[in-house]
Amino acid sequence: MAERRIMFVFPGQGSQYRGMGSDLCAEFSVARETYAEASEALGFDMARLSFEDPAGEIGLTRNTQPALLTHEVACLRVFRELLGQPLVPALAAGHSLGEYTALVATGSLGLADGLRLVRRRGELMGEHGEGGMLALGLDAAAARAIADRHYCQVASINLPEQTVVGGRDADLETLAAEMERINPRRRPVRLATEGAFHTYLMVEAARRFRETLDATPFAPPTAGVLSNYSAEVHEPEAGAIRTRLFFQLFNPVNWVGCLATAMQQGVSHMIEFGGGIGSGEGPGEKRPNLESIVRKTLKGAGYEAQYAAAINSATLRAAAAQFAG
């Protein structure tokens, strides 16, 4: 165990689904307690939203973000309980919303404070967002060059050859038309979002969010937490953490840069907590959101690290068994 350099990984929007967390709460009291804490902090029934989603609103940004944070923390707490021994990661990282979970996981943010932060963040992103996002099969430099010509902006660097851009709808349409002329085999993919997240169109949301950030206490993290904005480890001071989260809202998520830093720091194992993607409806039919892009990035760099999913009851038990030795 001492020779392992472990990184905890937390996904962002796009990994939510109806039924998320229901299997954990059926089996583990620590998960039920986590959902009860979330409900108390936010003033609504987080379990009902996550398990049943009766009004079809889990996909709204104001709900998606606290629902995912709750599920990710529940998965982490179940994992620690199953492991039965302390496991302090060398690093923690999250994609967009997941960065907040990484801060909760390392003790920088309390769960209630983290939930209130992301609830407000999601409200502002939904209220003040406009436009949308496109995934392009281009590296960041090439994506930036074409985005600049259409008043769009790089929003997320997910893979060395996959970059997400954001902008107003009309601008995205002209950008997509140019992409199809240049390379019809690599058509852009429109993402289901309430706006052009992590672009200049989020500046007003960030301005309003600053007040909530400034009022929220942060402690020094117990492990290195990677900043999406800088792709470096957060400085431990509360003010520095706040400013990086502020800038994160209207600047690209540099996920490739975060993984480069993880490799530089010699991470040997990664564990992804929470969320899930795939066409299956139940938690047991989901697969981890970030695993594919992480593996592709590591392979492209010629770097080896073990990856484990901890996103439902079965994978949590398997991960705990893997790391118990």
Catalytic site residues?
96, 198
Q: Which residues contact 299 (CB under 8 A, 6 or more apart)?
A: none
Q: How many CA atoms lie within 13 Å of 106's alpha carbon, on the beta-carbon side?
A: 28
Distance, in Å, from the CA atom of 284 to the CA atom of 286, rounded to the nearest integer, reads 6
Tell me which residue of 98, 94, 91, 92 sits closest to 67, measured CA to CA. 98
The alpha carbon of 98 is separated from its chain's Cα centroid by a whole number of angstroms, namely 3
Amino acid (1-letter code) at residue 270 = M
CA distances from 34 to 9, 40, 275, 308 (A): 19, 10, 15, 22
Q: Positive or negative, the Cα torsion across 86, 110, 14, 283? A: positive
Check if the beta carbon of residue 175 is closer than 8 Å to that of residue 165.
Answer: yes
Cα-to-chain-centroid distance, residue 228:
10
Alpha-helical segments (H) within the chain: 22-27, 29-42, 46-51, 61-83, 97-105, 111-128, 140-148, 169-182, 203-214, 238-248, 255-264, 291-300, 313-323
